[in-house]
Amino acid sequence: MNPINIRAAIVGSTGYGGVELIRLLQSHPYVTVTSVISSSNAGSPIAQGFPHLTEIRTDLLDGVDVELIKSKAEVVFLATPHGISMKLAPEFLAAGLKVIDLSGDYRLKSGDTYREWYKHEPAPQADVERAIYGLAEIYGKHVSGADFISNPGCYSTATLLGLYPAVQAGWIKPDSIIIDAKSAVSGAGRGLNLSSHYSEINENFKAYKLNKHQHTPEIEQVLSEAAGFPVITTFTTHLVPMTRGIMCTMYATLTDKRTTADFVELYQQFYEGRRFVRVRPSGIWPATKEVWGTNYCDIGFSVDERTGRITFISVIDNLVKGAAGQAIQNLNLAMDWDETLGLQFTPVYP
Amino acid sequence: MNPINIRAAIVGSTGYGGVELIRLLQSHPYVTVTSVISSSNAGSPIAQGFPHLTEIRTDLLDGVDVELIKSKAEVVFLATPHGISMKLAPEFLAAGLKVIDLSGDYRLKSGDTYREWYKHEPAPQADVERAIYGLAEIYGKHVSGADFISNPGCYSTATLLGLYPAVQAGWIKPDSIIIDAKSAVSGAGRGLNLSSHYSEINENFKAYKLNKHQHTPEIEQVLSEAAGFPVITTFTTHLVPMTRGIMCTMYATLTDKRTTADFVELYQQFYEGRRFVRVRPSGIWPATKEVWGTNYCDIGFSVDERTGRITFISVIDNLVKGAAGQAIQNLNLAMDWDETLGLQFTPVYP
Amino acid sequence: MNPINIRAAIVGSTGYGGVELIRLLQSHPYVTVTSVISSSNAGSPIAQGFPHLTEIRTDLLDGVDVELIKSKAEVVFLATPHGISMKLAPEFLAAGLKVIDLSGDYRLKSGDTYREWYKHEPAPQADVERAIYGLAEIYGKHVSGADFISNPGCYSTATLLGLYPAVQAGWIKPDSIIIDAKSAVSGAGRGLNLSSHYSEINENFKAYKLNKHQHTPEIEQVLSEAAGFPVITTFTTHLVPMTRGIMCTMYATLTDKRTTADFVELYQQFYEGRRFVRVRPSGIWPATKEVWGTNYCDIGFSVDERTGRITFISVIDNLVKGAAGQAIQNLNLAMDWDETLGLQFTPVYP
Amino acid sequence: MNPINIRAAIVGSTGYGGVELIRLLQSHPYVTVTSVISSSNAGSPIAQGFPHLTEIRTDLLDGVDVELIKSKAEVVFLATPHGISMKLAPEFLAAGLKVIDLSGDYRLKSGDTYREWYKHEPAPQADVERAIYGLAEIYGKHVSGADFISNPGCYSTATLLGLYPAVQAGWIKPDSIIIDAKSAVSGAGRGLNLSSHYSEINENFKAYKLNKHQHTPEIEQVLSEAAGFPVITTFTTHLVPMTRGIMCTMYATLTDKRTTADFVELYQQFYEGRRFVRVRPSGIWPATKEVWGTNYCDIGFSVDERTGRITFISVIDNLVKGAAGQAIQNLNLAMDWDETLGLQFTPVYP
């Protein structure tokens, strides 16, 4: 494998996550997308379904032919739904490719938990244990050199980057955590559904999957590790009438009297040197547009002396830091490259 | 006063609340808007600033001439900012008009609390005590016959209709309440501001005034009354890229083991006969568009056995139930009319 | 038939046109919706699919049983796709019901033209000739007493109300007419389609069906009648990222030197006494939001001396004046009622 | 001047055009932004007003000090309003800086025409004649080596790239041209105005400045040159409820019988080798989102045999190809660099 000339394949390239991988990898200096695999538009040029990609001349392959892909790529991104990834990943790993899976199939260490929340049989436990959970700013050093990376969920990324340092430091009570999450509609994917139908969503705000969202156990798994004991949380998801962006507003009770400035300092130290987390000063909270189109996660705080609680605000672009961007960041970390390669965008404003 | 032919004046009629009063009162069988008073567009026809109101032939008056208004109206709606209402209300009351104030000037019983949250000197305490707080479904019987009504805040209405029955019943712990509120942009009014500038708001989601919103003490005042002891809460506000609608997602710890169905039943009983509160069945939560353009407040629930918490979802149209609609409902209650007069709209969908 | 207590059935009630008929008819003093017929949600309460209609207790019937419907209604609205209406209308007419068809099946007098533009076999010519084309402000007197009304297309309504008086007066050259039409997304219906998928439409503006839209021959048929000779036009359609509203921007060459004020006067006279057409004064043009939720068609003009051309701007709410509202207006005209019954709404602003 | 290490200053950096220059120049390999000059936020870090630019450490200067800027930059971008640019440009030119002006001050060769359409006194004629009109794909070779470039208007760019080849080829009648233009709201700038107020624009579509838009004479100036004789046109502008994007739908009468495919071929040849113009195949028309965030101009065609007319569709991102992007492209051309430097973005989708 030539360390500065890697060929990548993308499976599931006609969903929003797959198309975003194509966009971002166009600007990666060391990676070339050589093949994209899609069951729905196979055989036609990518630009037919995605006219904004007129310049892209990559092969569009029909069906997953591991031998063929092996001849064209050293790394494969699985932008496939859960249940599908668990069928493909072992084949690619066996063929010697590096695999970065964007689905939920390898995020949960417990098969029982997976079965309960995903309503689907889990992947074999040995495969699950082999996968490195790629929450880049927290588990980056485990990712270094890894062959098989499970990319975190979009909500989980925003939540965990926002809460991990405070939980690990013991500054908040883990059992008091309440996460009120809001997502743009692209998070629901490109598949047709009345709940993504324009006239149903525009000028509308709705809650969904209360106390049932499958990112809940993923969040709890990591927070439990940070706390050192089992943590359960309340996690609620909403749909915002916009295309990109997630905000998580998170509430917790303080363990001791601390100020907003204390939290700012704790987080600045925790994330020192990590380019993609930006901590806002006291009294300023990030909006989703401030990270739009980029791999940033911006975080702000508000301690309330009256109630003894703190509110955390974290924002990401769900398709970048919440999916394709963090997947590329994980490839960079796995290859021991600068983690920002291919991801050096300034947010699009306005 | 002819009980079925009331003339109304609207002060501050070029803000969104004032214009919405004009729209709604067009369909009220017993009320005629005879004059609208606005400093900014005085002298010109309403339709010049608001072409959608081409048919409206009401006088547009310049400045508040109490004697003149007295000759043209029996009731006056104050759609004026806080600080202004407290100057106007006493004059109109002294002149014998019925006053319905949409500002925050008369909502808080404590002057100190008003001063702290509004950063403004409070109205005279005697005036404050005279004003009836018009949260219609809770305090409707106090409103009957009233001359001076303080219309609740938009966020407060959605929050309190969602929480009051549970707090009063003792089914949730008041000190555990966390309110995560989301509002459409019309709530910020028609005054120009970068935070209501289209390109700053579209495709953006932001939090604002964390732990500082002036509706917090209003909510706490009513919840304290429901609980029978002082309650403080965490209340957070966000801006959604849409024009109308508020959703409050509210979290609390259960005092005892109860199900979602228990809450559905409690609320159905509490609001029995009240046309404008609609309780959703178990497993269904309302979206803001489902009340769009109307005076409804729709409420749903989700009890989580894992955490012992309940999540409440309540939605309103911020300009109707959150402002002009409830003001008219309060007039109806004050006059002992059917509370739905002038408010019998079906939500506009899609 | 009791002239002030009419029972109505709606077929195809789970599309946006059908649901809008339900909304509007709630406020009609003489009409009661007794049954709504839908293949997709039959058997369930309307509120299950449409929670905003929680109050509506109408039967939801499965399949079209003409005998049953005959026992429950005197008038039937067909909010069905073209091709379906032509099967149902004859049966209902034969059963003695008044039929108002919202599809394109009976709008074109020439079967060949229908076949060419709709790519479908036309309805029997005798049925076509029986149907009265209900462009209310132009053909209202033909509608009086009619049993079978073909409701105009949404684009056709905005275009024809904007152009008819000028063409009839001979003030513009019919062969110079170019119509640049823009529609909100609800015009594409509630059926799932990538071109109505939220993330594809939001923050996007697109043109579609250039020189192929099926409303073209409908527009030409009426303009030819106004001109007294065959007229062909250029008609282009675009999709605007919003839910409701159509604007037609229309260009034509003047036959003689005339001013904007001349056109304002011509149109004010032409539409005198017609409540639903509002002519803007010189220098002012309507925006779509100014008719939102109502049956208005607002029209403005700009004559350009430099080029000898005039620009017309007409706006409607595509689901009201462009569909359900005009259908009710046609029922009113057919019954010789006031044409505004059930349609007396003030536009929702903002 | 080191040809591959140029320092740039931006004047007027707190409008959307100025901020977009900052975003795009971050990825330019040969240009460094060393100073940004703004009267409104001087002294504070850029990130205070624009939190998405947290990383940018450029000086924010107060007021235009030509000597100071001369010591920090070799090129200056004027993202200032018309009327201001004409004061600044001569000073910077005299100081030996390369000037790229984004305002309308130097686009029109005739001072009388400027006075008529801009309602302002024109710049001195000698300055106007010195300025090279930087419509990059048409006048690129004049830009090579230029010191003073007048960047085209946003609407003009979309219109002219769409019409120039056909007019020059004599395939359409210039006096038949009608341009129906639609712009996103960011084109109206960051200055507060009711017509950019969120609740007034969202879910609304409006026309403005009919037959009065100041880009009209700019379009006519270039089309006249293409035709070889004076051309006047009808040009209409509309506001679309979205942040970025312009579509021009343009109509003209064919001079001879030609097909859509003929036009596709003509344009492919005309723009051969120009990376930023993408010609769509027959039957496909571009949508604004397909160029979002990039310097592309995409063009499609539809010839209508019935009417003998052609419809052109051209789309750009108004802040990129319509402003900051083309300004950078012009710097690249002026420096004889690859015209795509700093502009190699893939459109953001969805």
- Chain A interface, mutation test: which of C52, C190, C198, most A Cβ atoms within 10 Å? C198
What domains are there in chain C, each with its CATH number?
Answer: 6-130 (3.40.50.720), 155-318 (3.30.360.10)
- Please state, in angstroms and rounded to a whole number, the distance separating the CA atoms of residues A54 and A96: 32
A30 near D CB under 8 A:
no
Q: Which among C199, C203, C243 is the nearest to A199, CB-wise?
A: C243
Strands A6-11 and A31-37, bridge-based pairing: parallel
Q: How much is the pLDDT for A147? A: 98
Which residues in chain A come in under a pLDDT of 70? 1-3, 41-42, 59
Can you tell me the ipTM of this complex? Answer: 0.97
Strands C59-61 and C132-133: unpaired
Contact B238 A249 (CB under 8 A): yes
Query: 3-class secondary structure for chain D?
Result: CCCCCEEEEEECCCCHHHHHHHHHHCCCCCEEEEEEECCCCCCCCHHHHCHHHCCCCCEEECCCCHHHHHHHCCEEEECCCCCCHHHHHHHHHHCCCEEEECCCCCCCCCHHHHHHHHCCCCCCHHHHHHCEECCHHHHHHHHCCCCEEECCCHHHHHHHHHHHHHHHHCCECHHHCEEEEEECHHHHCCCCCHHHEHHHHCCCCEEECCCCCCCHHHHHHHHHHHHCCCCCCEEEEEECCCCCCEEEEEEEEECCCCCHHHHHHHHHHHCCCCCCEEECCCCCCCCHHHHCCCCCEEEEEEEECCCCEEEEEEEECCCHHHHHHHHHHHHHHHCCCCCCCCCCCCCCCC
Tell me how many residue pairs between chain A and chain D have CB atoms under 8 A apart: 79
The H-or-E segment that residue B120 falls in is: none
| Cβ separation A197–C199 shorter than 8 A | no
> Residue with structure tokens 């109502």?
C294
For residue B306, count other CB atoms closer than 10 A to its CB: 11
Could you read off the pLDDT tens digit of each residue along chain B, which spans 350 residues? 566 799 999 998 779 999 999 999 999 999 999 999 987 766 778 888 899 998 887 767 778 999 999 999 999 999 999 999 999 999 999 999 999 999 999 999 999 999 999 999 999 999 999 999 999 999 999 999 999 999 999 999 999 999 999 999 999 999 999 999 999 999 999 999 999 999 999 999 999 999 999 999 999 999 999 999 999 999 999 999 999 999 999 999 999 999 999 999 999 999 999 999 999 999 999 999 999 999 999 999 999 999 999 999 999 999 999 999 999 999 999 999 999 999 999 999 99
Cα B279 from Cα B274, distance rounded (Å): 11
Could you give the C-alpha distances from D4 to A133, A345, D32, D144, D257, in angstroms and in order?
A: 42, 22, 10, 16, 50
Query: What is the pLDDT of chain D when averaged over all its residues?
Result: 96
Which residues of B have a catalytic role annotated? Answer: 154
Instruction: List the 33-92 stretch of D: residues with Cβ below 8 A of A.
Output: 50-55
pLDDT at D132 over 90: yes
Quick one: which of D38, A304, D15, A312 has its CA closest to B197?
D15
Cβ within 8 Å, pair C194-A192? yes
Is D248 marked active-site?
no
Q: Is there a contact between B147 and B311 (Cβ–Cβ < 8 Å)? A: no
- Tally the C-alpha atoms within 13 A of residue B199's C-alpha that lie toward its C-beta: 26
Query: What DSSP letter does each residue of B269-331 carry, written as one string?
Result: HHTTT-TTEEEPPTT----GGGGTTSS-EEEEEEEETTTTEEEEEEEE-TTIIIIIHHHHHHH
Pick from C4, C9, C26, C112: nearest CA to C64: C9
Give the pLDDT band (50/70/90) at residue D45: confident
DSSP A109: S
Answer whether D293 touches C (CB < 8 Å). Answer: no
Chain D nearest CA to C285, separation (Å)? 7
Q: Does D194 touch chain C (CB under 8 A)?
A: no
Number of Cβ within 10 Å of residue B4's Cβ equals 11
Inter-chain CB proximity A234 and B180 less than 8 Å: no
Question: What is the model's pLDDT at position B136?
Answer: 98
Choose the closest CB to C16 out of B53, B346, B350. Answer: B350
pLDDT of residue B41: 66
Q: Let me know if B145 is exposed, middle or buried by CB neighbors in 10 A (0-12, 13-18, 19+).
A: exposed
Any residues with CB less than 8 A from the CB of A305 and at least 6 apart, and which? none
* Mutation for testing the D interface, residue in C113, C176, C177, C180 having most D CBs under 10 Å: C180
Q: Which two tokens stand for residue B134?
A: 């018009």
Choose the catalytic residue: A86, A154, A327, A334: A154
In tens digits, chain C (350 residues) has pLDDT values of 566 799 999 998 779 999 999 999 999 999 999 999 987 766 778 888 899 998 887 767 778 999 999 999 999 999 999 999 999 999 999 999 999 999 999 999 999 999 999 999 999 999 999 999 999 999 999 999 999 999 999 999 999 999 999 999 999 999 999 999 999 999 999 999 999 999 999 999 999 999 999 999 999 999 999 999 999 999 999 999 999 999 999 999 999 999 999 999 999 999 999 999 999 999 999 999 999 999 999 999 999 999 999 999 999 999 999 999 999 999 999 999 999 999 999 999 99
CB contact under 8 A, C346 and B202: no
Query: How far is the alpha carbon of C70 from chain B, nearest alpha carbon, in Å?
Result: 27
Give the closest-approach CA distance of B285 to chain A in angstroms: 7
SS3 A103: coil
Q: Which residues of C touch D180 (CB under 8 A)?
A: 180, 249, 251
